[in-house]
């Protein structure tokens, strides 16, 4: 399973892609990066830049699931609004591709990677570097957080993701079947109209 995880933010949006390796708690990093936007740009321009960056990552890496850090209320309302806006872009991009989305809290991610739900950023970065066997710590912290989120989902959300993917597939199949049935009914209706029309025409000639 391939997970593309996003640590949403308006100034820095961390993105990490991780593959599950065979079974168990093993994983391999596929890619990591940060989409940045200048604080001096208008909000709409910054959101557009983030959206385009996300689209590129999704098209390039073709994940099986998208994981997003759940947004919590903070004292800084402006900051949390920007984070929520960026998270919304992730949800829309995933929905457009029919990808299941999972959301995990920061404490869930920290606990999954370090064993401590209150771990600091440096501790998270150290453990991500060690788990993925990286030569150097991913920087900035937003990139490390995205990888930690991907690992968290692989270990804690893999089973639910497979169920969601199966349900989505069933839903799509059901829609296709319903569409096919509707088309067949429409064809039968058109044939009936033609038959009735021909019958009426024959009667009038008599």
Q: What is the pLDDT of residues 114-123, one digit of tens each?
A: 999 999 999 9
Query: Using an 8 Å Cβ cutoff, are 116 and 148 in contact?
Result: no
Whether the per-residue pLDDT at 53 is higher than 50: the answer is yes
pLDDT in tens, 143-178: 999 999 999 999 987 544 444 444 444 444 454 555
Percent helix / strand / coil, the chain, rounded to 5? 60, 15, 25
Q: What is the mean pLDDT of residues 66-77?
A: 78
Q: Give the least confident one: 22-26, 37-41, 181-185.
A: 181-185
7 is in an annotated binding site: yes
Model confidence at 51, in pLDDT bands (50, 70, 90)? very high
Catalytic residue among 41, 55, 59, 69: 69
Domains, the chain, ranges and CATH? 2-202 (3.30.420.10)
Q: Is position 164 annotated as part of the catalytic site?
A: no
Query: Using an 8 Å Cβ cutoff, are 89 and 53 in contact?
Result: no
Model confidence at 71, in pLDDT bands (50, 70, 90)? confident
Q: Is position 41 annotated as part of the catalytic site?
A: no
Q: What is the mean pLDDT of the chain?
A: 83
The pLDDT of residue 193: 41
Query: By CB neighbour count within 10 A (0-12 exposed, 13-18 middle, 19+ buried), where does 82 fall?
Result: buried
The pLDDT of residue 50: 98
pTM here is 0.75
> What is the distance between the terminal CA atoms of the chain, rounded to a whole angstrom?
71
69 is in an annotated binding site: yes
**Whole-number Å distance between alpha carbons of 9 and 150:** 16
142 is in an annotated binding site: yes
Query: Using an 8 Å Cβ cutoff, are 6 and 17 in contact?
Result: no
Query: Using an 8 Å Cβ cutoff, are 37 and 23 in contact?
Result: no
CA distances from 127 to 29, 40, 130, 133 (A): 13, 34, 5, 10
Catalytic residue among 55, 116, 135, 142: 142
Q: Is position 7 annotated as part of the catalytic site?
A: yes
Q: What is the mean pLDDT of residues 9-25?
A: 87
């Amino acid at each position: 399973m391939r997970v593309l995880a996003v640590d949403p933010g308006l100034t820095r949006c961390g993105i990490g892609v991780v593959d599950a390796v065979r079974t168990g708690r093993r994983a391999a990093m596929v890619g990591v990066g940060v989409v940045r936007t200048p604080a001096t740009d208008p909000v709409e321009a910054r959101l557009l830049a983030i959206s385009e960056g996300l689209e590129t990552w999704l098209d390039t890496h073709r994940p099986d699931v998208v994981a997003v850090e759940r947004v919590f209320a903070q004292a800084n309302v402006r900051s949390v609004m920007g984070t929520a806006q960026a998270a919304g872009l992730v949800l829309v991009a995933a929905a457009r591709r029919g990808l299941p989305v999972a959301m995990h809290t920061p404490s869930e991610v920290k606990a999954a990677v370090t064993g401590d739900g209150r771990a600091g950023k440096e501790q998270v970065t150290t453990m991500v570097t060690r788990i993925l066997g990286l030569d150097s710590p991913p920087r900035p912290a937003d990139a490390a957080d995205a990888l930690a989120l991907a690992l968290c989902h692989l270990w804690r959300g893999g089973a639910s993701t497979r169920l969601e993917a199966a349900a989505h597939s069933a839903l799509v199949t059901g829609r296709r079947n319903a569409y096919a049935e509707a088309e067949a009914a429409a064809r039968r209706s058109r044939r009936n109209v033609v038959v009735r029309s021909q019958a009426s025409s024959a009667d009038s000639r008599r």
